[in-house]
Chains A and B, each alone.
Chain A
Amino acid sequence: MTTIRLWWLLARSDRRSAAVLWLPVAAYAVVTTLLLLVIGGSRVFFSWNDDMAFGYQLLALIALTLLVVPLGTLGASAARLSARRRDERLSTLRLLGATAGAVAAVTVIESSALALLGAAVGALGAALLAPLIGLIPFRGEAIGAWALVPAPETALVVAGVVALAVTSAVVSLRRLVISPLGVRTRQNAPAQRWWIVVVGVIVLAGALVAMNLLGAAGSAGGPITFLVVIVGGFAATLGVLGLIAPAILRLMATRQARIATKPERLLAARMILESPKAAWSQVSGVAMTSFMSVVAGAGVALMGMAASSDLSASDAHLVADIRTGILITVIGSFLMVACSVGVNQAAGIADRRELYSSLHQLGMDTSTMDAARRRAVLSPLRVTTIGSALCAAVFIFPLVGLSVIVSPLTLVMVAGVLAAGFALVWLGLLATRAQLARAARA
């Protein structure tokens, strides 16, 4: 009880970090709003019970699954940021005699409170936006009132977001050593385990063979086969990229650190080398959008071909609805990735404000610092987008063929989505530039 009273006293006096308090709250709000809107939009599919219903329900589940990755990334970023802003208070609590367990409990309580506040705001936002989402048509009819998620389900989503925040807080605490003298990140991150890369490559090769066999079996499975391929391919792509990408980033950054001639290049390479896994995690949400861009492009191209032939009214609706669903999923994931980059960068600047200030005093321009962190984000982003897009092309190649993959529609879609993805990440970086300048001049 005393610990909680002390924490409250310290929290009230912690005005310096108030500027970054709203960021995790806003991130949780965005996560909750998007999640509730997608769930709301999908609910109508589960009210149907005709022949086509299963296909729609499957599509809705895929859309929700695809949003889980950027959702998790954003939630974790928000939790890390809220953990960092209370570093000094945590060490003060330890200095005043609080046990490590009490400090951990306080951290979890604070994370939950911030997440609950954000999720509540997000739920309100979703309720306000529901009438707009209700205008989106599926099977030729507007979703209508289905877009508004009822209170019990909304409460479940809010509880889920809070649970995500608590989990992330506990995980981030395990990486910190909170002593009475301060808070520091545990040193000596585990070395790259190369056998994981080997396993990743084997999984990729195995999945590729499976896809080829599926393709060779003909289009017997029809749309269900296609959907299974998308889900399986996506899961395999993310899984494999998650295993391989940090190793690739480490190799590239090691080389860059050796040959860098400009300070910003050297700094960026070393920032990535500090934790290739963290560098990858920050942009891993883009892997989904990149993968989706290829699948969506191929899907749109296929639909273009199908639309030229005679379609029944229900099939025509399905084609239009898939297009709508893809668009909504891509927009949702983009928003989450942009928020995630912004929150991550804000956390990074808050964490290193003393260093940025000292570098400015030494005579390093903020433009050099900005260029370094920009490279440290955009370089992994390039690897992620290209790797993910290539994996997607490889996975759908046996099913749709090369002509669809390289069709102008597919390429335009891929280029458009990737450009928008890069632009959003750029915006996320730009949004925190003023914070960097303030930290440097502090």
Chain B
Amino acid sequence: MNFTILSARDLRLSYGPTRALDGVSLDVQVGDSVAVMGASGSGKTSLLHALAGILLPDSGAVRLTAPDGPLEITALSDRERTRLRRERFGFVFQQGLLIPELTAIENVAIALMLNGVDRGAANQAAAGWLAALGLAGLEDRRIGQLSGGQAQRVAIARAQVTGASVVFADEPTGALDSQTSAEVMSALLDMTVARGNTLVLVTHDAGVAARCSRIVDVRDGRIVGERVGA
């Protein structure tokens, strides 16, 4: 079933005199993989943050179609948006930003524990996702003992272990070499879109963007073009 899972309408956001978002509207269909491309300072990360409820735009609205009905993210309080991100969304950042003190399995399991899942069940689910991402045997390694590509795969497991319907990725391959970048991108698509979930990805790498189903070009806080990807 195809429907709009995320809908942004006329988003505007300024940082002092700088306009980060200047009337952006965007619909994301369920199962889509959307690459937001643009130069540094074009507003692509601000758009991703606004869609994910990390920041509130000065004006405009973002709506999520949740299983229990539509939800206006921009109308929620900070606490409600924090909970929404924890329960409904997954995130993959450029540097992974995993918790360095925790082991690989703990980094994944903690996403479930934050939602009240007990430790045993969380560990079991985390181990399953790590194995699916080719990290079996590395569960007890700390993040500093993993390569960049392995750490990003742990981040992908963390983003999906809660069953998040939408995964937001901010330059997920930005710190990786081209081969590892391709492998991580494959893992990200396999674990999200191939399972019926939605991926919104910010990148300035045309090769990475080309693997998504839609490519949205952003410049000066506006969407200036849209192309079909892979």
- Number of A residues with CB within 8 Å of any CB on chain B: 24
The answer to whether A260 touches B86 (Cβ under 8 A) is: no
CB distance from A124 to the nearest CB of B (A): 39
- Mask: chain B, 94-114; 1 = CB below 8 Å from A; 0 = not: 010101111000100011011
User: Which B69-110 residues sit within 8 Å CB-CB of chain A?
Assistant: 79, 82-87, 89, 91, 93, 95, 97, 99-102, 106, 110
Report if A315 contacts B (CB, 8 A): no
CB distance from A250 to the nearest CB of B (A): 13
- Let me know if B144 is at the binding interface, CB within 8 A: yes
Kindly provide the distance from the CB of B143 to the nearest chain A CB, expressed in whole angstroms.
11
Could you tell me the distance in whole angstroms from the C-beta of B170 to the nearest C-beta in chain A? 9
CB closest residue in chain A, given B120? A261
Tell whether, in the assembled complex, residue A261 and residue B113 are in contact, meaning their CB atoms are under 8 Å apart: yes
The CA of A6 and the CA of B167, in the complex, are separated in Å by 42
Docked Cα-Cα span, A273 to B103, in Å, equals: 12
Given known contacts A261-B118, A263-B114, A363 and B86 CB-to-CB distance under 8 angstroms: yes
The yes or no answer to A274 lying at the interface (CB within 8 A) is yes
**Would B93 and A358 count as touching, CB distance under 8 A?**
yes
Q: Is A360 positioned at the interface, with any CB of B under 8 Å from its CB?
A: yes
Known: A361-B85, A368-B114. 18 other contacts (CB 8 A): A187-B144, A262-B113, A266-B110, A266-B113, A270-B99, A270-B101, A274-B100, A355-B99, A355-B100, A359-B99, A360-B82, A361-B91, A362-B111, A362-B158, A363-B83, A363-B114, A365-B79, A365-B82
Verify B85–A273 contact, CB threshold 8 A. Answer: no
Return the chain B residue nearest A258 by Cβ: B119
Residue B52 CB within 8 A of the other chain: yes
Q: In the bound complex, what is the Cα–Cα distance between A363 and B81 (angstroms)?
A: 8
Contact residues in B for A363 (Cβ distance below 8 Å)? 82-87, 89, 114
Please determine whether A261 and B52 come into contact, CB atoms closer than 8 angstroms.
no
Q: In the A-B complex, list the 4 residue pairs whose CB atoms are closest, starting with the nearest.
A: A363-B86, A358-B97, A363-B85, A270-B101
| Interface status of A267 (Cβ within 8 A of chain B) | yes
Measured CB to CB, the closest approach of chain A to B230, in angstroms, equals 27
Find chain A residues with CB under 8 A from B106 CB.
257, 266, 270
- What are some 6 contacts across the A-B interface (CB < 8 A)? A259-B119, A260-B119, A355-B99, A362-B86, A363-B84, A364-B82
Enumerate chain B residues within 8 angstroms of A368, measured Cβ to Cβ: 114
A271 within 8 A of partner (CB): yes
Q: Which residues of B contact A267 (CB under 8 A)?
A: 99, 101-102, 110
Residues of B within 8 A of A (CB): 49, 52, 54, 79, 82-87, 89, 91, 93, 95, 97, 99-102, 106, 110-111, 113-114, 118-119, 144, 158
Query: Is A14 located at the chain interface by the 8 A CB criterion?
Result: no
A153 within 8 A of B: no
Task: Please pick, from B83, B102, B144, the residue contacting A270 in the complex, using a CB distance under 8 A.
Answer: B102
Least CB distance from A433 to B in Å reads: 16
Q: Which residues of A contact B (CB under 8 A)?
A: 187, 257, 259-263, 266-267, 270-271, 273-274, 354-355, 358-365, 368
Q: How far does the Cβ of B82 sit from chain A's closest Cβ, in whole Å? A: 5
Q: By the criterion CB–CB under 8 Å, are B85 and A362 in contact? A: yes
A263 touches B113 (CB 8 A): yes
* Chain A neighbourhood of B83, CB < 8 A: 363
Q: Cβ of A274 and Cβ of B87 under 8 Å apart?
A: no
Bound-complex Cα distance A307 to B88 (A): 70
CB atoms of B102 and A266 under 8 A apart: yes
The 8 Å CB contact of A273, one of B52, B54, B84, B101, is B101
Q: Which of A263, A355, A365 has the most CB of B within 10 A?
A: A263
Bound: A273/B101 CA distance, A: 8
Residue of B nearest to A440 (CB): B82
Bound together, the chains give a CA A266 to CA B85 distance in angstroms of 21
With A363-B84, A365-B82 already in contact, the answer to whether A274 and B101 are too (CB < 8 A) is: yes
Name the contact of A361 in the complex, choosing from B52, B110, B158 (C-beta under 8 A): B52
